[in-house]
Structure 1
Amino acid sequence: MRVGLITPRPDHPLLSATAALLIDGGHQVLVHDVHDASSAGAHTEPPLSAPPADVYLLKARTPRALALARALERRGARVLNSAAATALLQDRTEMAAVARSAGLPFVRTRTFAALADVAAGPELTGPVVVKSRHSRKDDLVARVDGPAELHELAARHPHEPVVVQEFVPNDGWDEKLWAVGRRVFAAHRRSELARADLDTPPSLVDRTDLVRRVGEVFGLQVYGVDVIGADDGTPLIVDINAFPGIRGQQGAPEALAALVLNTHGSTPVTLPPCRS
C-alpha cells in the first residue's frame, strides 16, 4: 500500500511514528511537501505526475497544500481530512454557523469585518474572547475584559477580520479532545484565557459522543475539539481543528496507522505498538 503525507513537517512526532509503523508493516510512505523538503526513510513523490497514492494524510492548511489535496481528490485519491473539510475549519465564522445549525453546543460567535469595528461599536458589557476569523499559525486569540483592552488590541490589529465569542466563566481548564477515526483521546490544559480556580484539573468527563458527532457534522476523520465546561457543567465547544498534533497521547500513532489501512481496505487492522 502507498500512503502519501502532505506536510511541511514529515518529522512531526505523530507523522514520523505513524510512518515508522506503516513502513515496518511493509507499506510505502511518500512525502509531498509543498516546501520541497523530504524526510529520512521516505520518498518524495510528485503526486500529480504519477498515479496517486492509496491514501493521503493532509497535515497542512496552506493554500498550496489545499490546492494539492483538491487536485488529488479530482483524480480519485482519498485524502484525510478532505480539502473541503480542512478549509471550512479555517473560517471560524463558517465553523460556528455549521456547528450551531447542527445543534452542537458551540459558543455564541459574532463576526466583524475588522477589529476596529468592534472597538467603534457598543461598549463591552463583560469579558469576551477575540479571535482572528481565519485560523492560521500565530493568529489572534485574546481575552478582552473591557474597553481599554479592546482599544489597545484594535490599535495593534485594526484591519484584522475577527470573531467575538462570549467568555464563559469556567474552572480555568480547557478540555482538549482528539479523534482518530473512532478512537478518542482527552486531556486537560490550563486555559490561557481564564484565571484557574483549581490548582489541579478536574476529572475528565466522557465526551466521546460529542466528539464523534463533531466528526459526523464536519466530515472529519482526524481532528481536535476544544471544550470548556461552564459553571453548571454544560460543555461548550470553542474551537475545532483539522488534523492537530495530538502530542503526548499514547496510542495515537497506532490509531492513525490503523485508520489509514482501514480506509483503504475493508478488513479492520490492528497494528503493534509503536517503537520507542
Structure 2
Amino acid sequence: MKVGLITGNPGHPVLAATAALLVEDGHEVVVVPSAGPFAGPSAGPFAGPSAGPFADAVDGLVDVCLLKARTPRALSLAREFEQRGVPVVNSGAATGLCQDRVRMADLAAAAGLPFAATVAAGPLRELTAPAYPFVVKSRHSRRHDLVARVDGPDRLRELAEQWPEEPVVTQPFVPGTGWDQKLWVVDGRVFAARRRSELATGSGEPGRAEDWEPPAARAALALRVGEVFGLDVYGVDLLDGPAEPVIVDVNAFPGIRGRAGAPEALAALALRVAAERGRSLVGRSLVGRSAVPSGS
C-alpha cells in the first residue's frame, strides 16, 4: 500500500511513528507537502512525490491520504485527491468545517450535542462584551490562534490592541473543576488525558497533561462527535458544566502526543481505508467487464 501524508511537518511525533510502523510492515509512505511546490523525495524513511504539477502526479500516487495539515493548500490537495477517487482521512470538507467555530457550534446544536454557546462577534476591536467573565476565541481555528479568558474591560482592551482585526467568537466561561478534558479518537478508539486549564488558572499556559480514564458516557459522547462531524481522527475538548459536560472545541487530526497505541491505531486505519478502496476499484472493474457483450 502507498499511504500519503498531507503535512508540512512529517517529523511530527504521531506521524513519524505511524510512518515508521507502515514502512516496517512493507508499505510505502509518501509525503505530500502542504505548502510550496513539490521538491522531490523527502528525507528519512519516506518516498517523496516527483516534481511537477500536482494534477499530473496524483493519479496512482497513493492508495489513501492522511490529512494532518489544515492550510488552504492542504485542503485543496485533499479535494484534488478525493476528486480522483483517493480517500482522504479526514475528508477535506470535514476538516474545513472544523476550522470555523460558528459552523461547528451550529452543526453540534442541530445534532443535540452539548456544545458551548458560541456567538460570532466580528473583528475583536468591535466586540461588545457579554457578561464577564467570558471566553474569546478566533473564529477560524488554527495553530497559535486566539483563545483567552476575559475578566473585565482592561483585559478586553489589551486583547483588542493585540488582535484588532481578528474575527472572533465568544463563549460563556465554564468554571468547571479547572481541568481540561482532552479526548482523542482514532477510528473509534478513544484516548484521553486531562490537564489544568490556563483559562481556569489565569496562568496563560496549560498545565502538564495527565493520564485520565474517561467515564463511559464521555467516551460515548466523543464517539458521537465523530459521527456528527464525519471525522475518523479528531479531538474533543470537554469541560464539566453545571449539569452535563460541555464541548468547547473539536479538532480535526490533532497531535495525540504521548498516547500509547495511537500510532498503531492510525496505521491500521490508513490500511483499512486503503484496502476498502482497493476492493471498491476491483468491484467497479468487474462490473465494467460484466457489461461487455460476450464475444465482442
For normalisation by structure 1, the TM-score amounts to: 0.89
- Separation (CA, whole Å) in 2 of partners of 1:228 and 1:213: 16
- Separation (CA, whole Å) in 1 of partners of 2:82 and 2:134: 39
- Separation (CA, whole Å) in 1 of partners of 2:69 and 2:112: 28
Q: Which digits, 9 at most, give the CA deviation of each residue in 1:12-70, with x for residues without a partner? A: 11111111111111111111113457240111115532424111000100011111111
Q: Which digits, 9 at most, give the CA deviation of each residue in 1:195-243, with x for residues without a partner? A: 39xxx978742322111111111100000000001244x1100000000
> What's the CA shift for 1:257?
0.7
Residue type at the aligned position of 1:25 = D
Report the 3-state secondary structure (helix = DSSP H, G, I; strand = E; otherwise coil) of the residue aligned with 1:210.
helix
8 A contact 1:52–1:75 mirrored in 2: no
8 A contact 2:34–2:69 mirrored in 1: no
Q: Which residue of 2 aligns with 1:28?
A: 28
Q: Which residue of 2 aligns with 1:261?
A: 271
Percent sequence identity over matched residues? 56
User: Which of 160, 163, 168 lines up with 1:157 in the alignment?
Assistant: 163
Q: Which residue of 2 aligns with 1:274?
A: none
1:82 paired to 2:91: yes
Q: Which digits, 9 at most, give the CA deviation of each residue in 1:146-192, with x for residues without a partner? A: 12211222122222110000001211100000000010001101101
- Separation (CA, whole Å) in 2 of partners of 1:116 and 1:214: 33
For normalisation by structure 2, the TM-score amounts to: 0.83
Q: Which residue of 1 aligns with 2:201?
A: 195
Runs (5+) with no aligned partner, structure 1: 267-276
Q: Which residue of 1 aligns with 2:287?
A: none
8 A contact 1:14–1:245 mirrored in 2: yes
8 A contact 1:11–1:39 mirrored in 2: no
- Separation (CA, whole Å) in 2 of partners of 1:205 and 1:39: 42
- Separation (CA, whole Å) in 2 of partners of 1:34 and 1:182: 27
TM superposition outliers: structure 1 runs of 4+ over 2 Å: 34-39, 123-126, 200-206
Runs (5+) with no aligned partner, structure 2: 203-208, 277-296
Q: Which residue of 2 aligns with 1:249?
A: 259
1:91 paired to 2:114: no
Q: Which residue of 2 aligns with 1:55?
A: 64
- Separation (CA, whole Å) in 2 of partners of 1:168 and 1:34: 36
- Separation (CA, whole Å) in 2 of partners of 1:227 and 1:181: 19
Please list, as runs of the form range in 1=range in 2, the aligned pairs for 1:230-245 lying within 5 A after superposition: 230-232=241-243, 234-245=244-255
Please list, as runs of the form range in 1=range in 2, the aligned pairs for 1:95-114 lying within 5 A after superposition: 95-114=104-123
Residue type at the aligned position of 1:139 = D
Residue type at the aligned position of 2:88 = V
Q: Which residue of 2 aligns with 1:273?
A: none
8 A contact 2:235–2:250 mirrored in 1: yes
Report the 3-state secondary structure (helix = DSSP H, G, I; strand = E; otherwise coil) of the residue aligned with 2:14.
helix
- Whose helix proportion is higher, 1 or 2? 2
Higher radius of gyration, 1 or 2:
2
Residue type at the aligned position of 1:84 = A
Greater mean deviation of Cα atoms: 200-209 or 223-232: 200-209
Query: RMSD of aligned C-alpha atoms?
Result: 2.0
